[in-house]
A = this chain, B = another copy of it.
Amino acid sequence: MGSISEVPLLSEKHSGIPQNLLEKAKNAKALIYETRTKETNTRQRLPIIPQGIEKDIFIRALEKLAEQLGKDNVEVNDKPLVDGWYMEHPNTHDMMPILDDEELVASAVVYPSSTEEVQKIVLWANEYSVPIFPISMGRNLGYGGAAPRVRGSVVIDLGKRMSKILDINPDDYTCLVEPGVSFYALHEAIQAKGFAHMWIDIPDLGGGSVIGNTLDRGVGYTPYGDHWACHSGLEVVLPTGEVIRTGMGALPGNNTWQTFPYGFGPYSDGLFSQSNFGIVTKMGMTLMPNPGGHESFMYAFEKEEDLEPLMEIIRPLRIGNILENVAQVRHAIQTIAVKGLPRTKYFSGDGPIPEHVFREQLKKMPIGDHTWLYYGMSYGPPHIRQYKLEIIDKEFKKIPGARKIDPEILPEDEYFWSRDRIAAGVPDLVELLWVNWVPNGAHVAFSPVSPIRGVDAMKLFNLGKRRHDEFGIDFLPAFCVGLREMHLIVEIVYDKNDPAKRKAANDCLREMIDDAAKEGYGEYRTHLVLMDQVADTYNWNDNALMKFNEKLKDALDPNGIMAPGKSGIWPKRYRGRGWEMGKESGAKSEGDGVALTESTKF
């Protein structure tokens, strides 16, 4: 069960997605695939050799590794670019590059089949001082995808061959998975077993790895949306090759690894999230009980400034669990963008689409003109939902002009139904349609953490709007409201084949990160190329936290081989050597002087 080849793609079987949307999504995929198969000049002189190692030694080292893993499982990255989005492997690049296509590339990709083989790779990397970069499935879209932080790293693609669902426990509502298990695969396996009493929680796109998303502290949209908080138990290969199990997993013969997260002594799981301190090879995850009913609802708010009172209304309802899931408050322009059509259909000029243009469009659409949409879900049997929905309705309607949208009026391809599926734990892909907004569309996220407050929402909205206007980019904001905080999520959609557009996106992001930090807002997660900058904003007390992280890094990874630079944490041998890349947009920084000219296959 659950091998990578069984991960459902866009087949109708796994979704309630209307056929026309599926087609669009498929087209989106094809579009990306097409643009990634182009061969660039750079491509001719690949693969990259990791800096600091002689080419011949590296080649011999790969041969040694191939002897251990099998020739087919050590692949030099010297082939035409292939999209890894929902395709099979190799996972050699960020399929949504924010720098030059060939900036964040692997020298080779290796495919372990077991924890033992991951250990072998790690020991090998220590022997040859080769930077390695583990990925689960490489689908961290908008945050770097399958790409390594350091050019020429050897990517460890865990998901290709380690994709087993090791356990689904229908009594405890838990599971144990390997890195290659996607949300789709997990959902399908639960359905196949007939466990209708259990739901999974999924992020906006269901094609990614459960482990990968959780380790990056991604969120979903049911009451189990805080994936990190919902995990229980890790198996980790340390940078020096040892294997630990955390929590109750450290007790031989235990029966609670997936039910009690903490174990005894220091609770170290958090060290392995957003870090480069180890490779997670197994993870326990709790599953949500079927709530016995659910009901999506949507409210439209007229004016931009309605955001302010809306957040004040949301906060106590969210903390009080009347609003039960991570709710999205999305700007009206997203209503248009997520339909999956190019922006040129609405506006052919340069710069951001003028407000009057998108308002004209909105008027023609079922929801009608508005500025903000709230997407929520109520859980439980009808009378329990009614209790909560009545409170919500009363509160939301305190805002003049607030309208509850009757789902009955919405066509089957309306985005509402995608959110409805997601908040009910059914994996979905519709969200990716808005990459079609521009040609060769890719996206990259600005995602600062904020209190749930009107004044903060407006401040962040204005901050983003100002910078988007400055760089001539359409501003597509949404607020994801957690329990006591919210993330503003702004996805910049750009033409990834256009260096000027990439640069504009990168520059805009960097300005927004700095603007936000000055006001006390920090990113919860970021793209590989922005990690140094974001880490630099968490610099309280003379960068004490980073110094602490570096101390841990030096202790756990003395040879500095594990994902150097991830989350801004550099091993000693890289520190202070100008490894930061892309602060000046597109600037290459390391390791591109050495490239193989021949194709090498083991």
Contact = CB atoms under 8 A, between A and B. Distances in A.
Interface of A: 171-174, 217, 228-229, 232, 238, 242-246, 248-256, 258-260, 262-275, 277, 286, 289, 315-316, 319-321, 381, 383-384, 387, 449-453, 456, 482, 484-485, 517-526, 534-535, 537-541, 544-545, 547-549, 551-552, 554-556, 567-569
B250 A538 contact: yes
Contact of A260 (B245, B259, B260, B482): B482
Contacts of A539: 250-252
Contacts of A320: 289
Given A245-B545, A254-B521, A266-B272, 9 more contacts: A249-B540, A255-B520, A260-B485, A264-B274, A264-B523, A265-B274, A265-B538, A266-B270, A268-B270
Given A229-B229, A319-B173, A520-B253, A552 B266 contact: yes
Residue picked from A174, A256, A485, A525, most chain B C-beta under 10 Å: A256
Contacts of A526: 264
Given A245-B545, A274-B267, A548-B238, A520 B254 contact: yes
A456 B555 contact: no
A247 to B, nearest CB: 9
Contacts of A321: 289
A267 B234 CA distance: 14
List 3 tightest A-B contacts by C-beta distance, closest first: A267-B270, A555-B555, A266-B275
Copies in the complex: 2
A192 B428 CA distance: 49
Contact of A522 (B217, B264, B525): B264
A548 B519 CA distance: 38
Contact of A449 (B245, B256, B275, B518): B256
Q: Which of A249, A264, A519, A540 has the most CB of B within 10 A?
A: A264
A103 to B, nearest CB: 22
Contacts of A485: 256, 259-260
A267 B485 CA distance: 17
A445 to B, nearest CB: 13
B451 A255 contact: yes
A271 B274 contact: no
A277 B273 contact: no
A545 B267 contact: no
A299 to B, nearest CB: 22
Given A250-B538, A449-B260, A567-B266, A552 B549 contact: no
B244 A548 contact: yes
B256 A537 contact: no
B267 A544 contact: no
A272 B259 CA distance: 22
Contacts of A217: 262, 267
B519 A256 contact: no
A245 B549 contact: no
Contacts of A172: 315, 319, 451-452, 484
A127 to B, nearest CB: 20
A228 B262 contact: yes
Contacts of A534: 264
A319 B289 contact: yes
Contacts of A277: 266
Nearest to A453: B171
A81 B170 CA distance: 54
Contacts of A545: 244-246, 250, 265
B260 A484 contact: yes
A168 B57 CA distance: 60
Contact of A253 (B249, B519, B547): B519
Nearest to A272: B266
B451 A266 contact: no
Contacts of A254: 520-522
Nearest to A173: B319
A430 B331 CA distance: 54
Contacts of A523: 264
Given A260-B485, A260-B524, A453-B171, A242 B547 contact: yes
Contacts of A535: 264-265
A549 B568 CA distance: 24
B264 A540 contact: no
Given A172-B451, A456-B255, A538-B251, A265 B484 contact: no
Contacts of A518: 253
Nearest to A197: B316
A456 B172 CA distance: 13
A313 to B, nearest CB: 12
Contacts of A174: 484
Contacts of A522: 248, 251, 254, 256, 263-264
Contact of A268 (B232, B253, B263, B548): B548
A318 B126 CA distance: 47
Nearest to A547: B242
B270 A269 contact: yes
Nearest to A273: B267
A485 B232 CA distance: 12
